[in-house]
Structure 1
Amino acid sequence: MSRVSLERIAEAWDRDALPALESFVRIPAKSPAFDAEWAENGHLEAAVALGAEFCRRHLPDADTQVLRREGRTPLLWVEVPGSAPQAGTALIYAHLDKQPESTGWSEGLGPWEPQIRDGRLYGRGAVDDGYALFSVVTALAALREAGHAHPRCVLIAETGEESGSPDLPAYLDELAGAIGDPDLVVCPDAGCGTYDRLWCTNSLRGMITGILRADVLAEGVHSGDAGGVAPSSFRVLRRLLSRLEDEATGRILPQLCEVTIPRHCREQAAHAGEVLGALTRERYPLLEGVRPDSDDPAERILDRSWRAAVEVIGAEGLPPIEAAGNVLRPFTAVKLALRLPPTADAEAVAEALEALLTEDPPAGAHVRFEPDTVAAGWAAPEPAPWLARALADASEAHFGAAPVYMGEGGTIPLLVWLQRRFPRAEYLVTGVAGPGANAHGPDESLHLDATRRLTACLAETLQALAAERASGPGGR
């Protein structure tokens, strides 16, 4: 198999993809959850039109369409013919909607005005994940220009990912026949631990969010009068949360959602821990003297990717300190975010969680738990030998280092849907949202050198799929 030229990829990326991505940054294409008038404002349409024009210019024989359905956000569909009928099929995902502006951008930087500083492109949507479509198209165009084999590629770029992808399942159902049975699913919407190698996401946690509320009084009462007689709603919640979490260690009770971590994932976490070392701690702005929950880098990786964790992310019934009177308050409510292991049954855990928190309430308090998000996690299958070889070769060739497989702590429901629809497919989930990228926050930025190298790795992986499928039926 011929090597993909990083120099040609980098030249094409700087000449073609970078200016297009800068134009994309200028479009305030906020996701519908953050722009109720998205249809009237037309920014999502502008982003999709920009992506479609780029595809038509650099993949002129592709079937490029913008799909619009009543009440749904637009979707970009691009079908690129393979270099040969037996070259296989790759389904490639991206999204063109963005998080809102946020505050706190550094002087001279802003969400909608692209700026290049110190090898990074700053602007909202640059790394999450506006670059993806332009990188994939650049990779395919480079393969074709060099006469390298490549599979049939189906590119889908949605415009509702930051709102939870509410329209994507309907589009996937509609397009199922056109997509076919992909050999490889590529999702460049993930993170990376460093910028010196290829990072492959092998798992994502699930999540349950919901409101836990304890009521004890019909109205607030002077704390000097009721304190010691009426139960405290705050104390009731403390006891309920202790049913779920060991407050000394932060561990979630094992009978609720503990799973067996596969051996290959433990081995991959150990390798990632060796590569990252102290970065597994230093990536977090811990105050001086604050210790992480684990001293071992590999265990920290497993803690954030394969073990459950809960956080109180909001509260009601607690007045601000400056308005806090001496009152035994009638209720306390908190919003919980429980991260689940990738292979936990989210629906079963949600049912068990509600029972755990509400049955036999302390002091007879009126307790209820109302979940509002129940999302399953995702675990990638072990990569087929051809894919593992391709990723290793590409990372060594274009980064000069072996790839790393590591789980992420977040949740991407899209991958669960895709795995259910395409259970035989291989998966490459990757990205360049690494240190300093700050997706969703101020000063979001794209590391340009790593992006060029990742683009070359994507091209090599697509070429490897075509070679594997051409070699016989054992490519899966």
Structure 2
Amino acid sequence: MAAKCDAPAETWARINDFVGGKWDAEVVPTLSEYIKVPNLSPMFDPDFATNGLQEKAFALLIDWLKQQPVKGMKYELLEEQGKPPFLCIEIDGTVPTAKTLLMYGHMDKQPPLRPWAEGLDPYEPVIRDGKLYGRAGADDGYAIFASVLSVMALQREGIPHSRVCIIIEADEESGSSSLKGWIEKTKDRLGDVDLVITLDSGSCSYDQLWVTTSLRGVAIVSVECSTLYEGMHSGIAGGVVPDTTRILRHQLDNVEDSRTGDIKVAECHCEIPAAIREGGYASLEKLGFDAFLAQFPFQQGVKAENTTSVADLAIRNFWKPSLTIVGVDGLPSVADGGNVLRQLTRFKLSIRLPPNVDGAVAAKAVAAALERDPPNGVTVKATVMGFANGWASPPISPWLMESLNTGSQQVFQKPAALLGLAGTIPFLGMLGEMFPQAQFVISGVLGPQSNAHGPNEFLHIGFGKGVNGCMARVVADHFVQQPESAKK
């Protein structure tokens, strides 16, 4: 059995009570104020550098931070003209340690994507049935609170911890384009990282800790075509002039089978590891098919893609590519649409990529496929707007797996469960390259129906408290793993 913190059960019960009390008294009220600030990620806000919204949201978080009696803590909000800010928090170890535990979160937001359900709004926090509704409370505003409290709770009980750094960026929803530069600037502060905890992931239920072992990458590509210099009456032009939407539908067939959703571009696929194919998602099988699908708000009668096996669905979701049209230019609303054959249509595509696919290569291949062999002599233009590689976790060390299981048992009375994640956290690949010997704990509160990026996003408050308690356990056990020679 791996070595772990030997604090008794009653100590961990007090830690969980402390965390829960801080959430009720401080975290939820502060998060509610943060939700009110429309600090969109830079990709969605061309004025982010001048409108002060990122700074306003950071000020709320830092005001809370200032009030916390964390021993050995210092912090700095780093700012550069034209870049989103970056918060770096350093907490000294109980005794100095050669290794650093790095915790990550972000505070920028996706667009509001209205309409929301009656009585809800992205920027008006509402607590209903134990859930805090509003944009970015779950993705990922709570992360700074959970990270700091994981350390503070240990200090209150006299449980030692290693040196901890917490970084909070404001660019994640735009692909973390500025993060590498900030990490380079702070690498001396970060030190030699041997464990990374990221609280920006998801779960398949709210009754146990879920740990992500892989993430998909993403390629963002726009594709457009124009057939006229100006729009024309559709009765006069229809049947003579090619419709731009039809042309783009045809070009999408080069990339995706429209009946099955299968992606045809070879560069978007990778070999699926044998360990994944052969029982890699046992936790999901135990969860069951209906429970797995409960996280998706299907309309009545809609069925999942092509299978009744949880394992097959998981592999399709975590290890195969998929395409979504996420933006359209040139199409008026139904209310405003007249009888016009329009001159131009443009789609913005999000292609999710398996963990081991090269995002740059895949994006270029998708763009080439979209431009290939258009009908009617039409010129189709595809532009790579961005890409990010996926990530696959190194094998989890026995001590860490035991710590995750122990924490989950203490909080939820169930062991931890492993899953892949269909979303993207771009910085993980970067940190994996920078700290190749590090272990990773990727977890979070984005569970069934929590709907990050969409309408009616919520943070399950009770689950957030539980995840926070589990992370305190990991921080404590991490210190126990440090060899005496590493404790300076």
* CA distance, structure 1, for counterparts of residue 374 and residue 117 of structure 2: 49
* CA distance, structure 2, for counterparts of residue 72 and residue 190 of structure 1: 25
Please point out which of 343, 358, 366 is paired with 1:345.
358
Please point out which of 408, 416, 424 is paired with 2:437.
424
Q: 1:48 is matched by which residue type in structure 2?
A: F
* CA distance, structure 2, for counterparts of residue 386 and residue 448 of structure 1: 28
Secondary structure of the 1:245 match is: coil
| 1:2 pairs with 2:16 | no
User: 1:208-247 counterparts in 2 under 5 A?
Assistant: 208-216=219-227, 233-247=244-258
* CA distance, structure 2, for counterparts of residue 333 and residue 435 of structure 1: 32
Counterpart in 1 of 2:171? Answer: 160
* CA distance, structure 2, for counterparts of residue 159 and residue 336 of structure 1: 23
Preserved contact between residue 48 and residue 75 of structure 1 (Cα < 8 Å): no
Preserved contact between residue 209 and residue 336 of structure 1 (Cα < 8 Å): yes
| 1:468 pairs with 2:481 | yes
User: 1:383-394 counterparts in 2 under 5 A?
Assistant: 383-394=396-407
When residues 251 and 222 of structure 1 are mapped into structure 2, their CA distance, relative to the original with a 3 A threshold, is same
**Shift in Å at residue 419 of structure 1?**
1.9
**Shift in Å at residue 344 of structure 1?**
0.6
| 1:278 pairs with 2:287 | no
User: Relative to structure 2, which stretch is displaced further, 459-468 or 35-44?
Assistant: 35-44
Deviation digits for residues 98-157 of structure 1, max 9, x if unmatched? 345554455665555544433233344322222221122222112122222311100112
Q: 1:208 is matched by which residue type in structure 2?
A: A
Preserved contact between residue 225 and residue 248 of structure 2 (Cα < 8 Å): yes
Please point out which of 22, 40, 65 is paired with 2:76.
65
When residues 300 and 155 of structure 1 are mapped into structure 2, their CA distance, relative to the original with a 3 A threshold, is same
Q: 1:26 is matched by which residue type in structure 2?
A: E
* CA distance, structure 2, for counterparts of residue 216 and residue 38 of structure 1: 36
User: Relative to structure 2, which stretch is displaced further, 54-63 or 212-221?
Assistant: 212-221
Counterpart in 1 of 2:61? Answer: 51
* CA distance, structure 2, for counterparts of residue 140 and residue 316 of structure 1: 48
Q: 1:459 is matched by which residue type in structure 2?
A: A
Preserved contact between residue 31 and residue 142 of structure 2 (Cα < 8 Å): no
| 1:379 pairs with 2:392 | yes
| 1:369 pairs with 2:375 | no
Please point out which of 130, 145, 170 is paired with 2:141.
130
User: 1:435-450 counterparts in 2 under 5 A?
Assistant: 435-450=448-463
| 1:20 pairs with 2:20 | no
User: Relative to structure 2, which stretch is displaced further, 205-214 or 161-170?
Assistant: 161-170
* CA distance, structure 2, for counterparts of residue 232 and residue 139 of structure 1: 57
Preserved contact between residue 83 and residue 151 of structure 1 (Cα < 8 Å): yes
Q: 1:301 is matched by which residue type in structure 2?
A: A
When residues 248 and 16 of structure 1 are mapped into structure 2, their CA distance, relative to the original with a 3 A threshold, is closer
Q: 1:366 is matched by which residue type in structure 2?
A: T
Secondary structure of the 1:244 match is: coil
When residues 103 and 307 of structure 1 are mapped into structure 2, their CA distance, relative to the original with a 3 A threshold, is same
Counterpart in 2 of 1:355? Answer: 368
User: Relative to structure 2, which stretch is displaced further, 346-355 or 23-32?
Assistant: 23-32
Secondary structure of the 1:170 match is: helix
When residues 310 and 176 of structure 1 are mapped into structure 2, their CA distance, relative to the original with a 3 A threshold, is same
Q: 2:295 is matched by which residue type in structure 1?
A: R
Q: 1:285 is matched by which residue type in structure 2?
A: P
User: 1:296-307 counterparts in 2 under 5 A?
Assistant: 296-307=309-320
When residues 298 and 61 of structure 1 are mapped into structure 2, their CA distance, relative to the original with a 3 A threshold, is same
* CA distance, structure 2, for counterparts of residue 174 and residue 13 of structure 1: 32
Preserved contact between residue 9 and residue 139 of structure 1 (Cα < 8 Å): no
Counterpart in 2 of 1:325? Answer: 339
* CA distance, structure 2, for counterparts of residue 271 and residue 61 of structure 1: 39
TM-score by length of 2: 0.86
Q: Show structure 1 runs of 5+ residues with no match.
A: none
* CA distance, structure 2, for counterparts of residue 123 and residue 312 of structure 1: 24
TM-score by length of 1: 0.88
Deviation digits for residues 331-367 of structure 1, max 9, x if unmatched? 5433322111111111111222222222343343222
Preserved contact between residue 235 and residue 339 of structure 2 (Cα < 8 Å): no
Counterpart in 2 of 1:264? Answer: 275
Secondary structure of the 2:16 match is: helix
Counterpart in 2 of 1:207? Answer: 218
**Shift in Å at residue 471 of structure 1?**
6.6
**Shift in Å at residue 251 of structure 1?**
0.7
* CA distance, structure 1, for counterparts of residue 360 and residue 478 of structure 2: 36
Preserved contact between residue 129 and residue 189 of structure 1 (Cα < 8 Å): yes
Q: 2:466 is matched by which residue type in structure 1?
A: R
Preserved contact between residue 64 and residue 79 of structure 1 (Cα < 8 Å): yes
Q: 2:356 is matched by which residue type in structure 1?
A: T
**Shift in Å at residue 228 of structure 1?**
6.1
Preserved contact between residue 12 and residue 138 of structure 1 (Cα < 8 Å): no
When residues 285 and 121 of structure 1 are mapped into structure 2, their CA distance, relative to the original with a 3 A threshold, is closer
* CA distance, structure 2, for counterparts of residue 192 and residue 73 of structure 1: 29
| 1:292 pairs with 2:304 | yes
Q: 2:223 is matched by which residue type in structure 1?
A: L
Q: 2:14 is matched by which residue type in structure 1?
A: R
Secondary structure of the 1:268 match is: coil
Please point out which of 257, 266, 269 is paired with 1:255.
266
Counterpart in 1 of 2:464? Answer: 451
User: Relative to structure 2, which stretch is displaced further, 130-139 or 329-338?
Assistant: 329-338
Q: CA RMSD in A?
A: 3.0
* CA distance, structure 2, for counterparts of residue 138 and residue 300 of structure 1: 36
Instruction: Count matched residues.
Output: 472
Counterpart in 2 of 1:75? Answer: 86
* CA distance, structure 2, for counterparts of residue 198 and residue 51 of structure 1: 25
Between the two proteins, what is the percent identity of the paired residues? Answer: 35
Q: 2:273 is matched by which residue type in structure 1?
A: P
Please point out which of 120, 125, 128 is paired with 2:131.
120
Preserved contact between residue 209 and residue 373 of structure 1 (Cα < 8 Å): yes
